[in-house]
Amino acid sequence: MARKFLYVIAIIVILVIALFAALRLWSEDLTELAFVPTVEYAQKDALGPEAWRDPAMWIARPDMQDDPSRWLPPGVEKPEKPLPVAVFFVHPTSLVARSAWNGDLADALSQDRAALFVKGMASPFNRAEVWAPRYRQAAVGAFLTAAPEANRAIDLAYSDVLAAFDQFVKTIPKRRPIVVAGHSQGAFLLRRVLRDRAAGKPLGQRIVAAYVIGWPVSLAHDLPKMGLPACTGAEQTGCVVSWLSVADPADTKMLLTAYGRRTGLDGQGVAGSPFLCTNPLTGTEGGSADAATNLGTLVPDHKPDSRSASGTLAKATVPASCGPDHFLHIGPPPALDMGPYVLPGNNYHLYDVTLFWANLRADFEKRVATWQKAQ
């Protein structure tokens, strides 16, 4: 009996090893199979800026009663006086279904997940008014394929974000400084917003900083077209902050493949192009900082409902180092219960912001303060 039991255990171990080997060898194919939509692309009409006059077209805005971006973790005091700056935040992909290339604004599941992302990722900026639009986001699978439908889906998402941004600019006071921020798909789309609305235009002079996190910003093909330089100093303004987080040992092949599928803002291919790595613990380009400088990692409580979800801050736990591969390395996987959403290859993409929640908040406040002094 004992021998049969050992045989069963041995078979299970072999199967598990085989499964992990398959994931490593064919992870890209399996991921595409799991997430790329299998339906035909459904053409949708573009919406003008006037559509975002409707408060229902926003996940967060200053006049909302139940604004998820105003959430704060325990121990962080609510600001007494808001900073005189307006933040435009674009949430990451919350549509993981294969049933459509673009999200439906009436889809409760993806919209609730988007509100959860705004709660965790836009809250570092809530010492100011935060505006986070709803948009017909491209499905996550659109970034995992070179199919023409993917570009059409991304272009529709961009048209929504651009229209929302135009309405945002019309709504806020004309001289109010602006911070733009986004993660993943949100960051990818914000690159284009900066090119089309900020570079070489008066509006660009009002941008305190652009937090383009979770999507590579090519130093050669994106940054020159965005109208703003990289942030090289912690108190610099009018510049771009960006990073992509991985733990060690890291396998970044899938990330680099997704990056290489897209073109830069200059229309050229970006495969193999170095990208910006800002160290969120120092606020400077490149370099390393130990865990002692981490003011607080947001550890989620794993509740899926955006209304009840919460989290706590863990200080001095996660270090950060910009590596020669341009990724932000956080050392071995942190000894924190971050949840089940670490991606293959020790990819901490979903935690880019929350790993450094308190430092991002301090970075934002410091750059705004520097801007105010200069004015």
Concatenating the DSSP letter of every residue in 297-357 gives: EEEE----STTT--EEEE-S---EEE-TTS-EE-SSPPSS---S-PBTTTB-GGGTTGGGH
pLDDT attached to residue 20: 36
- Hey, what domains does the chain have and what are their CATH numbers? 35-72+80-266+344-374 (3.40.50)
The alpha carbon of residue 157 and the mean position of all alpha carbons in its chain are separated, in whole angstroms, by 15
CA torsion, points 271, 276, 280, 285, in degrees to nearest 10? 150
Band (pLDDT 50/70/90 cuts) for residue 279 is: very high
Strands (E), the chain: 58-60, 86-90, 129-133, 178-183, 207-213, 239-241, 245-246, 278-279, 284-285, 288-289, 297-300, 311-314, 320-322, 328-329
pLDDT for position 97:
85
Q: When comparing pLDDT for 293 and 26, which is higher?
A: 293
Q: Which of 151, 44, 37, 161 is nearest to 100 (CA)?
A: 37
Tokens of 161: 């974000």
pLDDT tens profile 125-146: 999 999 999 999 999 999 999 8
Question: Which amino acid type is present at position 279?
Answer: N
State the pLDDT at residue 305. Answer: 73
The per-residue pLDDT of the chain, averaged, comes to 91
Sequence-ordered list of residues with C-beta below 8 angstroms from that of 128, at least 6 positions apart, any chain:
82, 83, 84, 85, 86, 87, 179, 368
Beta bridge partners of 168: none
pLDDT of residue 22: 36
pTM here is: 0.91
Question: What length does the chain have?
Answer: 375
Quick one: pLDDT at residue 309?
Answer: 86
The answer on pLDDT for 62 being more than 70 is yes
Q: Rounded CA gap, 52 and 69, in Å?
A: 18
Q: Looking at residue 33, what is its pLDDT?
A: 54
pLDDT at position 26 over 80: no
Give residue for tokens 């993409």: 349
* Residue 174 in tokens: 């004309």
Give the per-residue pLDDT at 35.
Answer: 83
Contact indicator for 82, 176 with CB cutoff of 8 Å? no
User: How does residue 16 score in pLDDT terms, banded at 50, 70 and 90?
Assistant: very low
**pLDDT value of residue 31:** 54
DSSP 283: T
Tokens of 15: 């199967």
**Strand 245-246 and strand 328-329: pairing?**
parallel
Q: In what order do the strands lie in the sheet with 239-241?
A: 58-60, 129-133, 86-90, 178-183, 207-213, 239-241
Task: Give the pLDDT confidence score for residue 80 in this predicted structure.
Answer: 83
Residue 153, both tokens? 């889906």
- What is the per-residue pLDDT across 158-207, written as a single tens digit (0 to 9) for each? 999 999 999 999 999 999 999 999 999 999 999 999 999 999 999 999 99
SS3 state of residue 40: coil
Q: Reply yes or no on whether the pLDDT at 116 is more than 50.
A: yes
pLDDT recorded at residue 32: 56
Q: Is beta strand 86-90 parallel, antiparallel or unpaired with respect to 178-183?
A: parallel
pLDDT per residue over 206-253, tens digit each?
999 999 999 999 999 999 999 999 999 999 999 999 999 999 999 999
Neighbours of 76 (CB within 10 A): 16
According to the model, what pLDDT value does residue 79 have?
Answer: 84
Rg (CA), the chain: 21
Q: What is the pLDDT of residues 352-369, one digit of tens each?
A: 999 999 999 999 999 999
Q: pLDDT tens digits for 302-324?
A: 777 777 889 999 999 999 999 99
